[in-house]
């Protein structure tokens, strides 16, 4: 087996957030083919207890704590240096020393960096002689442009600056590295459009998968809801701004009309670290905030259907795929499903029977009431969605596309 240095901006376990789902399955898959040296940040103190689980896949693991408040202060150095604020946010002298020592003492010819700021650790000579692949996941710079459009000054100025500086950094990394990977064909196409000087064949989409054995609708799960409730469920990390924006808009603008027409309908927001703004939504009729739950599957399987009303989104939404894998109909906005579809080179169209899409509040209300009124049709939509996931979202099959990128030494 060859040796691989794998650098990740967040420890890839437990796979309870979108990026950690991808990085964990990457780690699991790559461990079948390489001896792995893993360097990562730990931004949630609770995740330290999972270090031994990560070590099972690695020859060596080096993790450093990330105090998010302190990191935000450090990121302001970027205003003085002219670099994107993201880079000093994820800069750590100890991690850099470990990387340098590993590359000096181990026979490592391949490097995979996950999320753009991790590229800063392997850009200087002699690292440039190694086979380096960058998994950007999403075009993060585009995310900051979206945020800028939604925020007042001075945040809009800071976010727009981050968009511009981070895009230049992403483009520099893409020129230096052997290949640049994105999670969807749409994200890869966007980066090609933004970076026409970079050879298109070096920008590749490697799609996510779903653990369909874990997200299995045929298992028995305890019902967390009362018998009188018909539940619309949203799942996700509730300190992530795009999720907060989605549930706030849906709870205040869309769900009141649904609840008025169907008083037994309830909207459950299931996810860790709900912000104060999210917690306030519990004062609205029919809205419930769970906070952290030990297992999200009971909340999905016993819901009437899942909702994903995101107005800002990048890449693929695992919450949508996981609900589809659990044979649940999904009511989503077009932003939430943008990255869901066949991989590059596949011609099959998305079967919309398992996925209902609407963007304005009136359409969302109409679609939701239709699903609530026809349980047989709602179940049929859910089964169609699971068939789609089984056909297109096998982790090992999709991740196999990354091996030729790393092995072309």
pLDDT tens per residue, range 240-253 = 889 999 999 999 99
Same domain, 190 and 248: no
Q: Can you spell out the DSSP letters for 111-157? A: EEEESGGGGGGG-STTGGGSEEEEEEES-HHHHHHHHHHHS-TTHHH
Residue 218 falls inside a structural domain? no
Residue 215 falls inside a structural domain? no
Q: What's the chain's average pLDDT?
A: 93
pLDDT value at residue 408: 78
- Per-residue pLDDT band for 341 (boundaries 50, 70, 90) equals low
pLDDT value at residue 409: 54
For the segment 267-278, what is each residue's pLDDT rounded down to a tens digit? Answer: 999 999 999 999
Would you say residue 350 has pLDDT above 70?
Answer: no
For the segment 100-147, what is each residue's pLDDT rounded down to a tens digit? Answer: 999 999 999 999 999 999 999 999 888 888 999 999 999 999 999 988
pLDDT value at residue 16: 87
Task: Return the C-alpha torsion angle 328, 332, 338, 339, nearest 10.
Answer: -30
- Per-residue pLDDT band for 343 (boundaries 50, 70, 90) equals low
Mean pLDDT computed over 289-294: 96
Residue 363 falls inside a structural domain? yes
Same domain, 9 and 46: yes
For tokens 């994105």, the residue is 182
Same domain, 185 and 247: no
Would you say residue 302 has pLDDT above 70?
Answer: yes
d(CA 12, CA 26): 9
Nearest to 322 by CA among 240, 221, 242, 393: 393
Residue 220 falls inside a structural domain? no
Read off the CATH number of the domain in which 189 is found.
3.40.50.2000
8 A C-beta contact, residue 391 and residue 350: no
Mean pLDDT computed over 67-91: 94
Mean pLDDT computed over 149-162: 91
Residue 345 falls inside a structural domain? yes
Same domain, 301 and 383: yes
Residue 44 falls inside a structural domain? yes
Same domain, 179 and 36: yes
8 A C-beta contact, residue 331 and residue 364: yes
Contacts of 374 (CB under 8 A, 6+ apart): none
Same domain, 144 and 262: no
Same domain, 23 and 155: yes
Outline where 195-349 has alpha helix (H).
241-249, 255-261, 276-280, 297-301, 318-325
Same domain, 176 and 294: no
Same domain, 292 and 277: yes
Number of independent structural domains in the chain: 2
Residue 217 falls inside a structural domain? no
Q: pTM to 2 decimals?
A: 0.89
Phi/psi at 152 (nearest 5 deg)?
A: -75, 165
For the segment 219-242, what is each residue's pLDDT rounded down to a tens digit? Answer: 999 999 999 999 999 999 999 889
Share of the chain above pLDDT 90, in %: 88
Same domain, 170 and 307: no
Would you say residue 347 has pLDDT above 50?
Answer: no
Mean pLDDT computed over 169-192: 96
Would you say residue 349 has pLDDT above 60?
Answer: no
User: 3-state SS of 241-266?
Assistant: HHHHHHHHHHHHHHHHHHHHHCCCEE
Mean pLDDT computed over 314-335: 93
Mean pLDDT computed over 59-65: 98
For the segment 5-50, what is each residue's pLDDT rounded down to a tens digit? Answer: 999 999 999 998 889 999 999 999 999 999 999 999 999 999 999 9
Same domain, 154 and 248: no
Residue 321 falls inside a structural domain? yes
Sign of CA dihedral 122, 126, 132, 138: positive
Same domain, 251 and 388: yes
Q: Determine the structural domain holding residue 242 and report its residue range.
A: 230-392
């Amino acid at each position: 087996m060859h040796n691989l240095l794998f650098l990740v901006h967040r420890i890839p376990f437990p796979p309870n957030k979108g990026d950690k789902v991808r990085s964990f399955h990457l780690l699991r898959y790559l461990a079948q083919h390489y001896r792995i040296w893993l360097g990562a940040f730990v931004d949630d103190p609770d995740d330290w207890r999972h270090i031994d689980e990560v070590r099972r896949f690695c020859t060596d693991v080096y993790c450093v704590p990330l105090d998010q408040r302190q990191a935000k202060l450090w990121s302001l150095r970027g205003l003085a240096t002219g670099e994107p604020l993201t880079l000093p946010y994820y800069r750590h002298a100890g991690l850099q020393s470990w990387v340098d020592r590993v590359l000096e003492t181990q026979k490592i010819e391949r490097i995979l960096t996950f999320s753009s700021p991790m590229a800063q650790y392997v850009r200087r000579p002699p690292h440039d002689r190694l086979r380096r692949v960058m998994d950007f996941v999403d075009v993060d710079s585009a995310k900051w442009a979206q945020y800028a459009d939604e925020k007042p000054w001075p945040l809009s100025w800071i976010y727009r600056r981050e968009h511009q500086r981070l895009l230049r950094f992403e483009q520099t990394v893409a020129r230096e590295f052997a290949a640049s990977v994105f999670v969807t064909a749409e994200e890869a196409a966007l980066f090609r459009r933004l970076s026409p000087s970079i050879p298109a064949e070096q920008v590749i989409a490697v799609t996510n998968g779903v653990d369909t054995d874990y997200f299995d609708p045929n298992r028995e799960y305890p019902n967390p809801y009362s018998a009188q409730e018909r539940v619309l469920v949203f799942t996700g990390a509730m300190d992530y701004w795009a999720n907060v924006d989605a549930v706030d808009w849906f709870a205040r603008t869309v769900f009141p009309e649904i609840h008025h027409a169907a008083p037994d309908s309830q909207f459950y927001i299931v996810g860790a670290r709900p912000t104060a703004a999210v917690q306030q939504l519990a004062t609205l009729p029919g809205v419930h905030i769970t906070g952290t739950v030990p297992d999200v599957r009971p909340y999905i399987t016993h819901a009437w259907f899942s909702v994903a009303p995101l107005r800002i989104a990048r890449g693929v939404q695992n919450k949508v795929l996981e609900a589809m894998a659990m044979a649940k109909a999904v009511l989503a906005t077009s932003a939430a499903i943008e990255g869901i579809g066949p991989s590059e080179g596949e011609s099959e169209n998305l079967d919309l029977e398992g996925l209902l899409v609407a963007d304005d509040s009136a359409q969302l209300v109409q679609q939701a009431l239709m699903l609530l009124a026809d349980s047989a049709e709602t179940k049929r939509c859910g089964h169609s969605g699971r068939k789609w996931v089984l056909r297109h979202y096998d982790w090992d099959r999709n991740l196999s596309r990354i091996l030729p990128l790393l092995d072309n030494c």
